[in-house]
Chain A
Amino acid sequence: MKVQLDLAGELEGALDEALEAAYPLETGATLEDLVASLPFASRVALTSVNGELVPPAERAGRTLSDGDEVMLLPPVKGG
């Protein structure tokens, strides 16, 4: 299956555009599997699936489906 990634901030451009638009995963993969597979996993702070926030503790229990839109954002501090 493939999911669509949405990266922002320092994570933008970290993946090839085509890969970001259709990121391949094994059927039944969880959000935690997805994050762990990324070369910038340690910089992922926020995750949401189809617009719904998924806290880190719940990523392992969130199974992804083909076509899901997954937003990944880096940590935010100050400004």
Chain B
Amino acid sequence: MGWQRKVLRVDLTAGTCESEPLNMQWAAQYVGGRGLATRYLVDNVDPAVDPLSPDNALVFATGPLSGTLVSTSGRYCVVTKGPLTGAIACSNSGGKFGAELKYCGYDLLIIQGRSEKPVYLLIEDDEVSLEDASDLWGETVWKTEETIKARHRSEDMKVASIGVAGERGVYYACIVNDLHRAAGRSGVGAVMGSKNLKAVAARGTRGVKVKEPTRFMQVVDEKNRKLFEHGSRRALMRYGTLSMIDVMQKFGGLPTNNFQKVQFEGVDRINPKAVVETNRNGHKNLLTNKACFGCTIACGRIAHIDPNHFSVVNRQEYWHASGGLEYETAFAFGPAVGVDDLDALTFAGYMMNEHGMDPISFGVTLAAAMELYELGLITREQTDGIDLRFGNAEALTVMAEKTGKYEGFGRELALGSKRLCEKYGRPDLAMVVKGQEFAGYDSRALQGMGLGYATGNRGACHLKHDTFDVDMEDVSGKGKAKPCKHSQDDIAAIDSAGICLFTASAWDLDDIAAQVDAACEGSWTAERLHDAGERIWNLERLFNLRAGLTAADDTLPPRLLKEPAPSGTAKGKVCELDVMLPEYYAERGWTANGVPTPDLLRRLKLEDFIIESPA
């Protein structure tokens, strides 16, 4: 109940697709989604493996609530060893694909090996096959989805695919489903490309059974009302996540010009007010909002680009409506690179969706390249004649397209910030943790965010912990370790249930546990979910330690540790990671070197993974 109790295992080297029973003991311990996928990854992949080799595995996972009536239940996640970081990757996506995979009758999809030629995986309930994708190789995400749906005469089919970026190993290539939702971070699309797997297409007709249907309906109705009435839900529906750009601007936590500044002069030209203003051509950027499967929040944005804008003049193929600006895309294509041209930002977003790239990593990598350019370490000859200065909208649009198509200087940007900055002799300019780029929050202003970035198992990430409330009460490292650790564990559980993190603005773990309990076998409480989250977090950490990462990787770039914030609420402050990190390790029950102790692992039923004599 909740779970479909079935795993689809695909060996691309052998060309086989076989189903097997879900390990229900693991389901009871790891819930589903992120947690269960991590447990299967650990069982199937040597952490020391080259992420782009056939020995890596790619796990698509739904949660027990995926595809049910619970709000936001369209989620799925992709877990693998990430090429961007060399650490565990866990990328979560909305849209409709996750629910459809569940309706095919599978909780998890494990993809191993490498196909000799390009293929796509076709799943229609129990009918599973590997189809020739030679004609799709080199095509965009958008063309791939359209072609597969037409080929199988099914508009209802849901497709998750990669573009050229994934095929060519752009280190932050993502997997895009439903045209503009993505398992975005850590390069999971590059892993898919390394396996010669162009797409997964799913069409399912099975339902999802729940343990107590009547109680489940009652609980879901009650929780939906709570979510519906919450102010944060209304704000997300009305403004999307973009409204945070004004908040971060006022607070002084909006990273600008590769984190050299924390406030952006051009914010008024790309904020929620700007996207609904009519420009001199009579064009308005934002068209409407959009919900993912089963979602009652509807934070997604649908926009279109002014046909007169330089990026799309005489390019009618980009005049249609598609995914609009959200906070992270606005940050990465705006303040991070100093650009305030709304349509240029929107075009860059189109490029990310069409070619399959993580907008955060692309934007922050471009920001690093711009700083290298302004320092004279990259020349105009190298950038295909483009003036790569901060604020140049053409540099943003051209480089987004070149990187997506893996052309010209785009091949350099495909490396990601860490590798790019190392190549040009300034590793300190890479705004990353473990090789993954920061999201749009400066950790001199949001100190707990800095701790969450530094300790993130998939590298810098704003979605695996939640210290916003305490960060905006006090601009210091004091008291941040406990909420950081606690929220990391809670969010690991939420990611594993198969629902969206944005429900957590209204729901606490009790609300989620009540819905899991009505859907799934066993007795589920908030405490049990939290414990599962802690188990998941520690298992991810153990994977990373075995992959060769150490406490030395739990750090931030010198800019955030040594260069004080130049303005805003945190003016004059640096991130106090030296204060927070020891407190965090102690809070976790880890050694001073960040290794989980045997006692902790026994408590978490992770005794099989004990690292003897942790220093």
> Which of A46, A48, A53, A77 gathers the greatest number of chain B CB atoms within 10 Å?
A77
With A8-B250, A42-B231 already in contact, the answer to whether A77 and B502 are too (CB < 8 A) is: yes
The answer, yes or no, to whether A73 is at the interface (CB within 8 Å) is yes
Tell me the complex Cα distance, A79–B462, Å.
Answer: 8
Once the chains bind, are A78 and B246 in contact (CB under 8 Å)? no
Once the chains bind, are B231 and A9 in contact (CB under 8 Å)? no
Once the chains bind, are A71 and B235 in contact (CB under 8 Å)? no
Tell me the complex Cα distance, A10–B462, Å.
Answer: 21
Nearest CB in chain A: distance from B325 CB, A: 12
A24-57 to B contact mask, C-beta < 8 Å, 1/0: 0000000000000000001101101001010110
Kindly list chain A residues whose C-beta atoms are within 8 Å of the C-beta of B246.
Answer: 8-9, 12
Kindly list chain B residues whose C-beta atoms are within 8 Å of the C-beta of A75.
Answer: 232, 468-469, 505
> Which of B247, B466, B504 gathers the greatest number of chain A CB atoms within 10 Å?
B247
B298-334 to A contact mask, C-beta < 8 Å, 1/0: 0000000000000000000000000000111001000
The answer, yes or no, to whether A18 is at the interface (CB within 8 Å) is no
Once the chains bind, are A46 and B251 in contact (CB under 8 Å)? yes
With A53-B475, A74-B235, A75-B232 already in contact, the answer to whether A9 and B244 are too (CB < 8 A) is: yes
Nearest CB in chain A: distance from B450 CB, A: 15
Nearest CB in chain A: distance from B535 CB, A: 23
Tell me the complex Cα distance, A51–B251, Å.
Answer: 9
With A78-B462, A79-B327 already in contact, the answer to whether A73 and B468 are too (CB < 8 A) is: no
A76 CB contact (under 8 Å) in B331, B468, B501 = B468
The answer, yes or no, to whether A6 is at the interface (CB within 8 Å) is yes
Once the chains bind, are A78 and B235 in contact (CB under 8 Å)? no
Tell me the complex Cα distance, A48–B251, Å.
Answer: 9
Question: Within B461-478, which residues are at the interface with A (CB < 8 Å)?
Answer: 462-463, 466, 468-469, 472-475
The answer, yes or no, to whether B439 is at the interface (CB within 8 Å) is yes
The answer, yes or no, to whether B241 is at the interface (CB within 8 Å) is yes
Kindly list chain A residues whose C-beta atoms are within 8 Å of the C-beta of B243.
Answer: 9-10, 74
Nearest CB in chain A: distance from B506 CB, A: 10
With A76-B244, A78-B501 already in contact, the answer to whether A55 and B474 are too (CB < 8 A) is: yes
Tell me the complex Cα distance, A55–B478, Å.
Answer: 13
Kindly list chain B residues whose C-beta atoms are within 8 Å of the C-beta of A10.
Answer: 231, 235, 238-239, 243
Kindly list chain A residues whose C-beta atoms are within 8 Å of the C-beta of B251.
Answer: 46, 73
Once the chains bind, are A76 and B326 in contact (CB under 8 Å)? no
B560-591 to A contact mask, C-beta < 8 Å, 1/0: 00000000010000000000000000000000
Once the chains bind, are A9 and B247 in contact (CB under 8 Å)? yes
With A10-B239, A77-B505, A78-B502 already in contact, the answer to whether A55 and B250 are too (CB < 8 A) is: no
Kindly list chain B residues whose C-beta atoms are within 8 Å of the C-beta of A74.
Answer: 231, 235, 243, 247
Kindly list chain A residues whose C-beta atoms are within 8 Å of the C-beta of B247.
Answer: 8-9, 73-74, 76
Once the chains bind, are B250 and A53 in contact (CB under 8 Å)? no
A53-79 to B contact mask, C-beta < 8 Å, 1/0: 101100000000000000101111111
Once the chains bind, are A6 and B569 in contact (CB under 8 Å)? no
Nearest CB in chain B: distance from A14 CB, A: 11
Once the chains bind, are A79 and B505 in contact (CB under 8 Å)? no
Tell me the complex Cα distance, A57–B272, Å.
Answer: 31
Once the chains bind, are B235 and A56 in contact (CB under 8 Å)? no
Once the chains bind, are B250 and A77 in contact (CB under 8 Å)? no
Once the chains bind, are B231 and A43 in contact (CB under 8 Å)? yes
Tell me the complex Cα distance, A48–B504, Å.
Answer: 26
Question: Within B243-258, which residues are at the interface with A (CB < 8 Å)?
Answer: 243-244, 246-251
The answer, yes or no, to whether B594 is at the interface (CB within 8 Å) is no
B474 CB contact (under 8 Å) in A6, A53, A71, A77 = A53
B328 CB contact (under 8 Å) in A48, A56, A79 = A79
The answer, yes or no, to whether B440 is at the interface (CB within 8 Å) is yes
Nearest CB in chain A: distance from B58 CB, A: 25
Kindly list chain A residues whose C-beta atoms are within 8 Å of the C-beta of B232.
Answer: 75, 77
Nearest CB in chain B: distance from A23 CB, A: 17
Once the chains bind, are A79 and B244 in contact (CB under 8 Å)? yes
Tell me the complex Cα distance, A46–B241, Å.
Answer: 17
Nearest CB in chain A: distance from B334 CB, A: 13
Kindly list chain B residues whose C-beta atoms are within 8 Å of the C-beta of A12.
Answer: 246, 273
Nearest CB in chain B: distance from A4 CB, A: 13
Once the chains bind, are A53 and B235 in contact (CB under 8 Å)? no
B466-498 to A contact mask, C-beta < 8 Å, 1/0: 101100111100000000000000000000000
Kindly list chain A residues whose C-beta atoms are within 8 Å of the C-beta of B462.
Answer: 78-79
Once the chains bind, are A73 and B250 in contact (CB under 8 Å)? yes
Once the chains bind, are B250 and A6 in contact (CB under 8 Å)? yes
Question: Within B346-370, which residues are at the interface with A (CB < 8 Å)?
Answer: none
Kindly list chain A residues whose C-beta atoms are within 8 Å of the C-beta of B441.
Answer: 79
A53 CB contact (under 8 Å) in B328, B502, B504, B569 = B569
In the complex, the chain A residue whose C-beta lies closest to that of B329 is A79
Question: Within B226-283, which residues are at the interface with A (CB < 8 Å)?
Answer: 231-232, 235, 238-239, 241, 243-244, 246-251, 273
With A43-B231, A46-B473, A53-B474 already in contact, the answer to whether A78 and B249 are too (CB < 8 A) is: no
Nearest CB in chain A: distance from B341 CB, A: 21
Kindly list chain B residues whose C-beta atoms are within 8 Å of the C-beta of A42.
Answer: 231
Tell me the complex Cα distance, A75–B243, Å.
Answer: 11
Nearest CB in chain B: distance from A47 CB, A: 9
Kindly list chain A residues whose C-beta atoms are within 8 Å of the C-beta of B474.
Answer: 53, 55
Tell me the complex Cα distance, A6–B273, Å.
Answer: 16
Tell me the complex Cα distance, A51–B569, Å.
Answer: 6
Interface residues of B (CB under 8 A from A): 231-232, 235, 238-239, 241, 243-244, 246-251, 273, 326-328, 331, 439-441, 462-463, 466, 468-469, 472-475, 501-502, 504-505, 569
Q: A53-B475, A55-B473, A79-B244 are in contact. List 15 more A-B contacts (CB 8 A).
A: A6-B250, A8-B247, A9-B239, A9-B247, A12-B273, A43-B231, A45-B469, A53-B473, A55-B474, A74-B243, A75-B468, A76-B472, A78-B501, A78-B502, A79-B439
3 smallest beta-carbon distances between A and B, as pairs? A79-B327, A10-B235, A55-B473
11 pairs across A/B with beta carbons < 8 Å?
A: A10-B239, A10-B243, A46-B251, A48-B569, A53-B473, A73-B472, A75-B469, A77-B502, A77-B504, A78-B462, A79-B440
